[in-house]
Copies of this chain bind each other. A is one copy, B any other.
Amino acid sequence: MSEIFEIVKKNGKKRLGVLKTAHGIVETPNLMFVATQASVKAMSAKDLFDWGIQFLITNTYHLYLRPGLEIIKNAGGVHKFMGWERTLFSDSGGFQIFSLSKLRKFKDNGVIFQSHIDGSYHEFTPENNVDMQRVLGTDVMMVLDECMEYPVTFEYAKHSVKRTLDWAKRAREQFLKTSPIYGYKQYQFGIIQGSIFENLREYCSKELQKVDFDGYAMGGVAIGESKDYIRKVIDMGDRIMPNDKPRYLMGVGEEDDIKYAVEKGFDLFDCVVPTRNARNGALFTEKGKILIKNAKYKNDFSPVEEGCNCHLCKNYTRAYLHHLFKSKEMLAGILATEHNINYYMRLMKKIRGSI
Interface residues of chain A, those whose CB is within 8 Å of chain B, are 37-39, 41-46, 62, 66-67, 70-71, 74-75, 81-83, 298-299, 301, 311, 315-317, 319-320, 322-324, 326-327, 329-331, 333-335
Q: Contacts of A335 on B, CB cut-off 8 Å?
A: 44
B44 x A331 contact (CB < 8 A): yes
Selected contact of A71 from candidates B82, B323, B329, CB within 8 Å = B323
A83 x B311 contact (CB < 8 A): no
A326 x B67 contact (CB < 8 A): yes
A42 x B331 contact (CB < 8 A): yes
Copies of this chain, whole number: 2
A179 to chain B, nearest CB (A): 24
Q: Contacts of A46 on B, CB cut-off 8 Å?
A: 311, 315
Selected contact of A330 from candidates B41, B315, B320, B326, CB within 8 Å = B41
B42 x A81 contact (CB < 8 A): no
Q: Contacts of A38 on B, CB cut-off 8 Å?
A: 320, 323
What would 16 more interface pairs be, CB under 8 Å, given A39-B327, A75-B319, A82-B320? A37-B324, A37-B327, A38-B323, A39-B324, A39-B329, A39-B331, A41-B329, A41-B331, A44-B311, A66-B326, A67-B298, A67-B322, A67-B326, A75-B301, A330-B330, A330-B333
Q: Contacts of A333 on B, CB cut-off 8 Å?
A: 330
In Å, the complex CA distance between A75 and B318 comes to 11
Shortest Cβ distance from A322 into B: residue: B67
Q: Contacts of A298 on B, CB cut-off 8 Å?
A: 67, 71
A74 to chain B, nearest CB (A): 6
* With A331-B43, A334-B330 as contacts: A71 and B37 at CB distance below 8 Å: no
Closest 6 CB pairs of A and B: A42-B330, A67-B323, A37-B327, A39-B329, A46-B315, A39-B331
B315 x A44 contact (CB < 8 A): yes
Q: Contacts of A299 on B, CB cut-off 8 Å?
A: 70-71, 74
Q: Contacts of A62 on B, CB cut-off 8 Å?
A: 327
A327 to chain B, nearest CB (A): 4
A82 to chain B, nearest CB (A): 6
